[in-house]
Amino acid sequence: MGILVLCLLLVTASACTTGESRAMTLRVLASPELADMQPLLEDLRRDTGITLSLDYGGPADAGNTLTPGDYHHDLAWLSSDRYFQLKLRESGGAQPLSTNTMRTPVVIGVKPQVAKLLRQTAPDGRLSWADIADRAAAGLLRFGMADPRQSNSGLSALIGVATAAAGTGGALRLGDVTCDRVRGLFTGQTLTAGTSGELTDAYVAHQDDTDALIGYESVLLSLNSSGKLREPLEILYPADGMVMSEYPLLLLNPVQRANYDKIVGWLKQDSTQQKIMQQTLRRPVDTSVPRDPRLTESAGNALYFPDQRQVVDKLLADYADPKLRKPDQVYFLLDFSGSMKGSRISALRSAIAGLSGADDSSGGKFLRFYRDEKFTVIRFGGRVLGEQTYTISGEQDLDAMRDFVAADDFDSETAIWSTVDHAYQEAARNAQQAVSIVLMTDGESNSGMSLDDFLRRPRPAGVPTFTIRFGEANAAELDRAARATGGRMVDANATSLLDAFKEIRGCR
């Protein structure tokens, strides 16, 4: 009789005759793609007595909307908690217990014939994000990607590409995203959606007009086996690395610690990891678990997620800004005074050729002139010697630009600030576009208005001038003018003209 009374007293904690957990339902804030785990959650309930009720948190990814300290769920199950962890560190909030449950990288799936063409640009056959960016900028690759403001797959892709473009080998810093290195890539984006599932549906509907999808390896492999595609996508693992999603399970309600431990134990056991891999094509967290043959042996190189929230927010703001999503208008002011003859003009022409696609380095592929970008090239001496505007639609426009810079009409004088003022008057007519001015000179201004005269002149706001010092140009004046307009000076004498142009490429 005493045992029966004791059992009744403890019934809220356990079933006294079997040792099994009593029936328990936990509310879980979950990333949308975890809907594919529903068939396995019945096994979890059967084995542990715990039911997980997944709340997919609306149109935005749960990891982006989860607020430190303001928890309305027992658990969170996210594709990634890295952005949340940045918010948490910023707020000074307590760190929830977190356990990774499975893994998948963000990769690119490409139609086979397009993949074959892409490989022709990579001598060793190992394609990179730079190769993808190069083809997209040239108008030869149309792809889909989920919106990074709503989907972790889109955010991971954006971070991965920006990290590869920065080329530092480490996590992105704010200075790495001040100049946009991925504009050329995103000229090729023709499809987007709020979630991975919506994106694959959009691709199925538009597969004749789209060449590739950037997304989770697991999602792309599942799409290939769905029978919805006229031809399966070839999965490419960029050699410059990928951001990995590890599906952490977070304990938000400490009261549920015992149940959390049971769920984690069940998820991480080998038999469950095998089932997850077979069901979802996500990789086990334990690499000793036998690999499904549909998965490659290696998931590739993992890229670092930024460790500053401001970096992620800047990437997202640039992605969302409608003005920045339009092609730029760039004014190139090129010094054709007599001192530029010989090796100096050869270096300038090589730099323009490099930005036109001749530079096959990783940085060169990210920074090449891209489709629909608009340029006005002004050759100047003591006056404007020639002025031509180009909108890049193909190789013929790049050829025409190179021919324009190949002219030999040098002048004996140098009217730097009058030419810059002329460019600003022209820029005032392009208020609907992001406009920037790039000035390259190898000497001092000896004609026309002075720098002080120029700085007193009215000019449109938000149009920076980036100055490139070459040869004997006045560093102090070039730096002063750049700072006054919101730009900066780069000294090409310390590097090369091509590197100088690349350093300010995409800045505004």
Least confident range from 233-237, 299-303, 377-381, 499-503: namely 299-303
* Contact predicate 364/354, CB 8 Å: yes
CATH of 105-244+311-318, one of 1.10.260.40, 3.10.180.10, 3.40.190.10, 3.30.2130.10: 3.40.190.10
User: 124 or 392: which carries more pLDDT confidence?
Assistant: 392
Least confident range from 5-19, 182-196, 481-495: namely 5-19
pLDDT at 58 over 80: no
Identical fold between 21-103+246-293 and 105-244+311-318: yes
| Residue 491: closest CA among 462, 457, 467, 508 | 467
User: 432 or 367: which carries more pLDDT confidence?
Assistant: 367
pTM of the model: 0.86
> Each residue of 133-165: pLDDT tens digit?
999 999 999 999 999 999 999 999 999 999 999
User: 65 or 308: which carries more pLDDT confidence?
Assistant: 308
| Strand partners of residue 268 | none
Q: Check residue 354 and report its DSSP letter.
A: I
Q: What radius of gyration, in Å, describes the C-alpha atoms of the chain?
A: 28
Q: Check residue 337 and report its DSSP letter.
A: B
> Each residue of 467-492: pLDDT tens digit?
999 999 999 999 999 999 999 999 99
Q: Read off the tokens for 87.
A: 């918010």
Domain segments of the chain: what residues? 21-103+246-293, 105-244+311-318, 326-504
Give the start-end residues of each E strand in 336-448: 374-380, 384-391, 435-441
Yes or no: domain 21-103+246-293 corresponds to CATH 3.80.10.10: no
| Residue 150: closest CA among 25, 80, 63 | 63
User: 45 or 123: which carries more pLDDT confidence?
Assistant: 45
Whose tokens are 């449109």? That residue is 460
pLDDT of residue 141: 94
* Contact predicate 411/337, CB 8 Å: yes
pLDDT of residue 301: 83
Architecture in CATH for domain 326-504: 3-Layer(aba) Sandwich (3.40)
Average pLDDT (120-124) is 73
Least confident range from 121-130, 254-263, 297-306, 377-386: namely 121-130
How sure is the predictor about 14, in pLDDT bands with cuts at 50, 70 and 90? very low
Average pLDDT (90-106) is 93
pLDDT of residue 432: 67
Alpha helices in 359-446 (DSSP H): 362-367, 395-405, 416-427
- Backbone dihedral angles phi then psi of residue 263, each to the nearest 5 degrees: -65, -45
Whose tokens are 């590197």? That residue is 499
Average pLDDT (81-97) is 90
Least confident range from 60-64, 213-217, 279-283: namely 60-64
pLDDT at 317 over 70: yes
Average pLDDT (174-202) is 90
Q: How far apart are CA 251 and CA 78, in angstroms?
A: 12
The distance from CA 200 to its chain's CA centroid, rounded to whole angstroms, is 19
Average pLDDT (210-220) is 96
Give the start-end residues of each E strand in 142-211: 143-145, 189-191
* Contact predicate 213/199, CB 8 Å: yes
Please count the residues of the chain: 508
* Contact predicate 164/240, CB 8 Å: yes
> Each residue of 240-257: pLDDT tens digit?
889 999 999 999 999 999
Average pLDDT, the chain: 90
How sure is the predictor about 8, in pLDDT bands with cuts at 50, 70 and 90? very low
